[in-house]
Amino acid sequence: MLDDILVVSGQVHRPIFDNKYSPDQAITKASFLDKQTRKLVVVFLPWHVPEWYAKKLQQKLACLRQASLIYYFNESIIATNTESVVSSFEYIALSIASDVNELSHRYGYTHIDLLGISLGNVAMCITAEKLKHFNKVIMLVPGDSLADPLWFGWRTRRLRHKLQRSGTTLTRLQKQWDILAPSSHVSTLRGHGVHIILAKRDRFIPYDFGRQLVRDLLAAHASVTFTESPFGHIATILAYLPDL
């Protein structure tokens, strides 16, 4: 219900696409907080996240005496230029993997957890392939792909209409963005504990796409657990703070 109300009322930020955007602008901000511990949590934030949520999450991790590295992403990482979208996520993955590997060497982190939230799960899965090591993975309201949730999600209807007017079909988008799909990276996650939180009333990344990701992980013999929130996308994100 909250998903519907906020979209209709306009309180969910509507994407504004910057024609001057380039993939090397995909990361707008990173926040690192070291708690003199051997455990680091890398957080891949959702699209258009309010900064207060990220700060609250970082404070929670600090209370748990865990270092945190949190990334904010440019709203233009998702756009009608489908090739730019792929380049943006490749840039994100290379940049974050480089940061994490460097910090791990500098501070001696022996335990690295990955937390992906909503769209951030796409970036997290691609980055995971480039990390030297990581431990647990938590995926909050993920989908099995990028193309399908964008096509059927309420929040991205405007973008879907733009793609359709340019001649892009769902089948074409699925092929172009297959490399970005979390389900294309289940082999990378297979050797790690994966916990997934799904929202039963999700209108942004419909529940069935997250459930498909769970099935794909199980088919790959991954060690995966999942829980279901009775709420929608936004309410689940706002209500959830990880007990890592």
Give the whole-angstrom CA distance, residue 71 versus residue 73.
7
What separation in angstroms does the CA of 131 have from each of 68, 103, 114?
16, 12, 11
- At 230, list the tokens: 């009775």
88 touches 18 (CB < 8 A): no
Q: Which pLDDT score, from 0 to 100, does residue 8 have?
A: 41
Sign, Cα dihedral of 228, 205, 147, 125: negative
Structure tokens at 239: 């209500």
Query: Tokens 């990880």 label which residue?
Result: 242
What mean pLDDT is predicted for residues 39-51?
93
The single residue listed with the structure tokens 């024609």 is: 19
Of 57-66, 84-93, 158-167, least confident by mean pLDDT is: 57-66
What is the predicted pLDDT for the residue at 20? 87
Q: Is the whole model's pTM more than 0.95, yes or no?
A: no
Residue 1 has pLDDT above 50, yes or no: no
Work out the mean pLDDT of the chain and round it to a whole number: 91
CA angle 76, 82, 87 (to 5 degrees): 70
Average pLDDT over residues 98-126: 96
Overall average pLDDT of the 146-161 stretch:
96
Which ranges of the chain does DSSP label H, i.e. alpha helix? Answer: 2-9, 51-63, 82-107, 120-128, 147-152, 157-165, 170-176, 186-189, 207-219, 233-239
How many CB atoms lie under 10 A from the CB of residue 1?
A: 10
Query: Tell me: the pLDDT tens digits for 170-181?
Result: 999 999 999 999
The dotted CATH code for 2-8+26-239 is 3.40.50.1820
How many other β-carbons are positioned within 10 Å of the β-carbon of residue 105?
10
Q: How far apart are CA 3 and CA 121, in angstroms?
A: 19
pLDDT at 108: 93
